[in-house]
Amino acid sequence: MTTEVCEPVVTVALDPGWAVAGLVDDVRRGLAQVPRSLSPKWLYDDRGSLLFDAITRLPEYYPTEREREILGARAGEIARASGATTVVELGSGTSDKTRTLLDAFASTGQLERFIPVDVSEGILRQAAADISREYAGVTVHAVVGDFTQHLEILPAEGRRIVVFLGGTIGNLDPHERAQFLRSLSATLDPGESVLLGTDLVKDLDRVVAAYDDSQGVTAEFVRNSLRVVNRELDADFDVDSFSYVPYWDPREERMDLRLRTEKPQHVCIPGAELEIDLAAGEEIRIEISSKFRIEGIRSELSAVGLDVVESWTDEAGDFALTLAVRAGVPTPR
């Protein structure tokens, strides 16, 4: 007896030198000036992706399980309402929770294609291979790409639903977020859908605890970004002398995750032809994680022509999944 093995198609949309060139640009733009910052996409090398996976299992980190709860309750409704035959997933990581959605789409017989998209190539290839094996008859086409740059080159076959889970949209700043939503809407045909996961504003102590876990996994995840700069650009950050400082920013309603050097450091970053002096106590912003209100999500989506069909929350009201449809008259396929 022979067993058919389905290999996923993998398209690498990133140039071979993308990681280094993009990192050089970001380092020059973000680290050379005060206040200093780095883009969160550099958090996800292989080690960073494993650390994020560990975060999702921490008792303090509620978003993953809350979103899983909503998907468990609503996946069938989402499949029917969207009528999609192609599921595109942005920032897919392990696509672990996504299986709940894929199961619902598969059980109505409508699932033809799954297109996971992530900058982290190793984890993406692994997830694509696993899903290809688990969902016989479904074409899996993984794209190694940046969702802030490559939306328009994503495969467009079938009627699509673009899912963006985990609250990753909250890691973009408001300007990047608006730009991202505009491009997302522009790449969809009228009648195609978006499913957006967002963490909601809530009791402050629980939010802060989710980003300041007792085992220090989040601190190591955030510090890992400087290890990436050291490795890729031959830099000499003394990573262990940085402490992790997660702030709640009440005005912006977001977590602001920073690293603070406890001693002065002269840092050479030869790969970016840059040297910087950090004073003791100086901070580098590594990531923000915005928390949302349902009304705000609705108005940001409708501002770009994405009409909200429905927002669902988990029972505790911690997290929201919002289904929206691209406005306009659908073209027959």
Q: What, of ligand SAH, ligand AVI, none, does residue 92 touch, CB below 5 to 8 Å by kind?
A: ligand SAH
Tokens of 114: 């799954």
**SS3 (DSSP) at 321:** strand
* Integer Cα distance of 164 and 5 in angstroms: 28
Inter-residue contact 107 to 78 (CB < 8 Å): no
Tokens of 325: 């449809």
Q: How many DSSP H helices and E strands does the chain contain?
A: 9, 14
Our finding on whether 170 is near ligand AVI (CB under 6 A) is yes
Region near ligand AVI per CB under 6 A, out of 11-19, 104-112, 168-176, 311-319:
168-176
- Residue 320 β-bridge partners: 198, 313
Our finding on whether 258 is near ligand SAH (CB under 6 A) is no
Inter-residue contact 207 to 291 (CB < 8 Å): yes
Among 92, 95, 218, 225, binds ligand AVI (CB under 6 A): 218
Among 38, 55, 123, 131, binds ligand AVI (CB under 6 A): 55
Region near ligand SAH per CB under 6 A, out of 2-10, 85-93, 201-209, 279-287:
85-93
Our finding on whether 22 is near ligand SAH (CB under 6 A) is no
Our finding on whether 120 is near ligand SAH (CB under 6 A) is yes
Our finding on whether 48 is near ligand AVI (CB under 6 A) is no
* Integer Cα distance of 277 and 149 in angstroms: 32
Inter-residue contact 40 to 171 (CB < 8 Å): yes
Number of residues that bind ligand AVI (CB under 6 A): 12
**With respect to ligand AVI, which residue has the nearer C-beta, 144 or 286?**
286
* Integer Cα distance of 51 and 288 in angstroms: 17
Q: Which residues contact 30 (CB under 8 A, 6 or more apart)?
A: 36, 37, 38, 39
* Integer Cα distance of 244 and 283 in angstroms: 9
Applying the rule CB under 6 A, the residues between 184 and 213 that interact with ligand AVI are 211
Shortest approach of ligand SAH to residue 122 CB, angstroms?
10
Among 167, 172, 276, 321, binds ligand AVI (CB under 6 A): 167
Evaluated on CA atoms 103, 106, 110, 113, the torsion sign reads positive
* Integer Cα distance of 63 and 210 in angstroms: 9
Shortest approach of ligand AVI to residue 57 CB, angstroms?
12
Shortest approach of ligand SAH to residue 149 CB, angstroms?
8
- Nearest residue to ligand AVI, by Cβ distance, number only: 289
- Interacting residues with ligand SAH (CB under 6 A): 41, 44, 49, 52, 56, 64, 91-93, 97, 118-120, 146-148, 165-166, 168
- Interacting residues with ligand AVI (CB under 6 A): 55, 63, 166-168, 170-171, 211, 218, 221, 287, 289
